[in-house]
Structure 1
Amino acid sequence: CAGGPRQPCSGNGKCDGDGTRGGTGLCVCSPGYGGPFCAECGDGYYEASRNKSHLVCAECYWACGRCTGPEDSSCLRCKRGWVLHERRCVDVDECGTEMAHCRANQFCVNTEGSYECRDCSTACIGCMGAGPARCKKCNKGYWRDGAKCLDVDECASAEEPVCSGAQEVCENTEGGYRCVCAAGHVRRDGQCVEDKPPDAPEKGFFDDVTEDEVVVLQQMFFGVVICALATLAAKGDMVFTAIFIGAVAAMAGYWLSDRGDRVLDGFMKGR
Structure 2
Amino acid sequence: MSRSQWFFLSAVLCLAHPELILGQNCSENCKACGGAEKDQCLQCHAGFSLHDNMCVDIDECGTELGYCSHNTYCLNTHGSYQCRACDKACSGCMGGGPARCRKCAPGYRSSAMKCLDIDECGEETLACPGLNVICVNTEGSFHCPCAEGYTRKSTGCERDQAAAGEGTGIFDNIQDDEIEVLQQMFFGVVLCALATLAAKGDLVFTSIFMGAVAAMFGYWLSDKTDRVMDTLIRGR
TM category (shorter chain) comes to 0.5 to 0.7
Aligned to 1:96: 62
- Tell me the alpha carbon deviations over residues 64-90 of structure 1, each in whole angstroms, 9 at most, x when there is no partner: 121233332331101111111121101
| Distance in 2 (alpha carbons) for counterparts of 1:197 and 1:59 | 81
The answer for unaligned runs of 5 or more in structure 1 is: 1-39, 48-56, 200-271
User: Paired residue for 2:169?
Assistant: none
Q: Which residue of 1 aligns with 2:76?
A: 110
Residues matched between the structures, number: 146
Which residue among 83, 86, 90 is the counterpart of 1:124? 90
C-alpha contact 1:143 1:152 (8 A) present in aligned 2? yes
1:168 is matched with 133
Structure with the larger strand share: 1
1:1-271 map, 5 Å: 46=21, 58-160=24-126, 162-183=127-148, 191=157, 193-194=159-160
Percent identical pairs in the alignment equals 45
Q: Does structure 2 conserve the Cα–Cα contact (< 8 Å) formed by 1:107 and 1:128?
A: yes
Query: Take 2:89 and 2:83, find their aligned partners in 1: how far apart are those partners?
Result: 17
Once the two structures are TM-superposed, the CA of residue 59 in structure 1 deviates from its matched residue by: 4.6
Deviation digits for residues 28-87 of structure 1 (CA, Å, limit 9, x no counterpart): xxxxxxxxxxxx9xxxx936xxxxxxxxx8353331121233332331101111111121
Is the 2:149–2:163 contact (alpha carbons within 8 Å) kept by the matching residues of 1? no
Amino acid at match of 1:120: C
Is contact 1:186–1:195 with CA below 8 Å preserved after alignment? no
C-alpha separation between the residues in 1 aligned to 2:75 and 2:49? 18
Q: Measured at CA, do residues 61 and 196 of structure 1 come closer, stay the same or move farther in structure 2, by a change above 3 Å?
A: farther
RMSD (Å) for aligned C-alpha atoms: 3.1
CA shift, 1:118, in A, is: 1.0
- Residue 175 of structure 1 aligns to which amino acid in structure 2? G
Aligned equivalents of 1:101, 1:84: Cα separation in 2: 23
Q: Does the CA contact (< 8 Å) of 1:73 and 1:88 recur in 2?
A: yes
**What letter corresponds to residue 173 of structure 1 in structure 2?**
T
Deviation of 1:101 after TM superposition, in Å, equals 0.5
Q: Gaps (5+ residues) in structure 2?
A: 1-14, 166-236
- Secondary structure of the equivalent of 2:99? helix
Question: 1:72, 1:186 → 2: CA distance?
Answer: 73
